[in-house]
Chains A and B, each alone.
Chain A
Amino acid sequence: MPQREHAIHISDLVKVYNSGGTDEVRALDDFSLTVERGHITGLLGPNGAGKSTLLKILTTLLPKTSGSAHIMGFDVEKQALDVRRSICLVLQQNAVEQYLTVEDNFETFGRFHGLSKSERRERGDRVIHAFGLEAERRQKAIDLSGGYKRRVQVAKVFMIDAPVIFLDEATTGMDPINKRATIDAVAEEARRGRTILLTTHLLDEAEELCDSIVFIDKGRKILEGDLFTIKALARNIVDVSVTYETLTPDIRDAVERIPARKREVQHSTVLLTIDSATASPHAVLGTLLDLGPTLAFEVRGATLEDVFMQVLGKEKP
């Protein structure tokens, strides 16, 4: 049974598209998850894993095939209106009022969510400021670039107090500064007690923001836990990187001969991911440093990306 104190409770959720057809897709397969109030949970997985499908079911947009899902104790199908009153979301696809100005986008959104006139004005101004939209406030959304439209769409969820926020690849298409503004705003909302479920395939973003991480692949939950537990799964994985003054062909050839799980070369930086159970990070670093004059080096523990590789046996999702 779902408990009132759980913000999100999902049990054996199944979603089959085009059921019975030749193009049948099992987008969610016995997926279960519980999210506590005030937590930020990151849903990570490669394209087509079923992340958007899950969010659409939780936000009353898509009927499930079987299983159950509750938001703040309300059934997403039987109590859809109560669920809608408890949530706000950023969809993966763009969602702005093209023909309205930026401020009217916020004005109409505020009306739909029952904000009073003064709240609409005050909160509209606040998000316009927070997302750097002052100069565009009187422009129609249709005249804005994709990144600005995305900002308008994302800014909307910070106007209202719905207890649960869903973000589907919310920072996609944003420049680093607005990505930062979004991440900070999300973190601030969680501190104020709101529950956030976000999907991303940017592991560093999830790593920075999330209290817990859920890996999903082919509609199935692969792994779940807090950041430290998850990273412990890849505790043998170490990233060693060295930046050379100039990356000569000789250095390149030598790097190719060092055994590693993964090898990346960007400009004059070489990044090797090694398994410390089979090779000593110090020895690898020493070898790399001996190859030529260097500008910088770094040795660090596993990132979520490494865990992802370890668990799924795949490259970056």
Chain B
Amino acid sequence: MRAHSPFRNVAAVMYREYKIRITSFTWLFYDLALPAFYLLLFGIGLNTAFTGGVAVGGAVISYNAFFLAGVLSMAGFGIAINTSYGFFVDRDNGIFYEFLTYPMTRGEFLFGKILFSLCITTVQSAITVAIGVAVLRVQISLPLLPLLFLANAVCTAGWFFCLSIFALRIRRNDLYNTVINVAYFVLMFASSIFFPLDNSPAWLKILAGANPLTWHTDILRYLSVGTGEANTVLLQCAAYAVFAVAVFIGGVRALRASA
């Protein structure tokens, strides 16, 4: 028997995801370039609507600058949805069950999938930020750029684990679709993605404050355009870390129970 190598197993999972992804131009476009288009279309439209800029925590910045972090977190969430959706595709192909008998642990399987998503997220973040800077003239903090990419990658991983629990437990494609669509809509609306929460009604502030997508977006916003209180953002980092660990454990459990 060959020695067990977690590194080789994770690499094999990533290679497989890569091979599948490059077979389809549409997937590559959705994963890599769509958010940049989103930023351009939404940004240009809403930037003219908010000519005076938007006020966030005392500072006033252009809507484009504000929306950049929103696009990044939204796109990370989108990648997590696509990756979790892969469980259904694999299950329909039957290959999912065969995977579970390959010589690797459930953790290695999940980790390989997530690591691949993180690579995609990072390339996508780089493209989106480049468009934001070059076309929309958003001023971002260059020294914090690596941290921005890292934060988006880690937060995307959190969403993937979270969605995996639902994908693996729900088992039914159509039902999962419905649940995810509703959750996506509610989570995005009750967050700081599209508008600052400063002037929102109290109930929305409370709802958004407990929403991990708000933490995700606020962390990215702090790292990209520098809005927000350092202490608040640190607290949001801690909250997101707890959320991510909890959903990771939940995800591995769901995978173990899924055969």
**Which A residues have a C-beta under 8 Å from some C-beta of B?**
56, 59-62, 81, 84-89, 91, 93-100, 104, 107-108, 111-114, 140
Contact = CB atoms under 8 A, between A and B. Distances in A.
Contact of B95 (A84, A89, A95): A95
Nearest to A104: B19
Q: Which applies to chain A's interface (DSSP): helix, strand, loop or mixed?
A: loop
Given A62-B259, A97-B95, 19 more contacts: A60-B100, A84-B102, A84-B104, A86-B1, A87-B101, A91-B97, A95-B97, A97-B93, A98-B93, A100-B19, A111-B8, A111-B11, A111-B12, A111-B15, A111-B16, A112-B102, A113-B103, A114-B103, A140-B23
A89 B102 contact: no
A107 B4 CA distance: 19
Contacts of A94: 93-94
A104 to B, nearest CB: 6
Number of chain B interface residues as a range = 20 to 34
Contacts of A89: 98, 101
Interface string B75-102: 0000000000000000001110111111
B59 interface: no
B105 A60 contact: no
A99 B4 CA distance: 28
Contacts of B15: 108, 111
B16 A59 contact: no
Contacts of A140: 23
Contacts of B12: 108, 111-112
Given A81-B103, A114-B103, A108 B98 contact: no
Nearest to B96: A95
A131 B12 CA distance: 25
B20 interface: yes
Nearest to A111: B12
A250 B104 CA distance: 66
A272 B21 CA distance: 58
Contacts of B93: 94-98
B103 A95 contact: no
Contacts of B4: 81, 85
B199 interface: no
Given A84-B101, A84-B102, A99 B24 contact: yes
A100 B97 contact: no
B173 interface: no
B103 A84 contact: yes
A112 B104 contact: yes
Nearest to B24: A99
A15 to B, nearest CB: 13
Given A61-B259, A99-B24, A104-B19, A112 B97 contact: no
B103 A93 contact: no
B9 interface: yes
Residue among B94, B98, B100 having the largest count of chain A Cβ atoms under 10 Å: B98
B25 to A, nearest CB: 13
B111 to A, nearest CB: 14
A111 B98 CA distance: 14
Interface in B41-72: none
A56 B100 CA distance: 11
A100 B98 contact: no
22 contacts: A60-B101, A81-B4, A85-B103, A88-B101, A89-B98, A91-B94, A91-B97, A91-B98, A95-B93, A95-B95, A95-B97, A96-B94, A98-B93, A99-B24, A107-B19, A108-B16, A108-B19, A111-B8, A112-B9, A112-B12, A112-B102, A113-B102
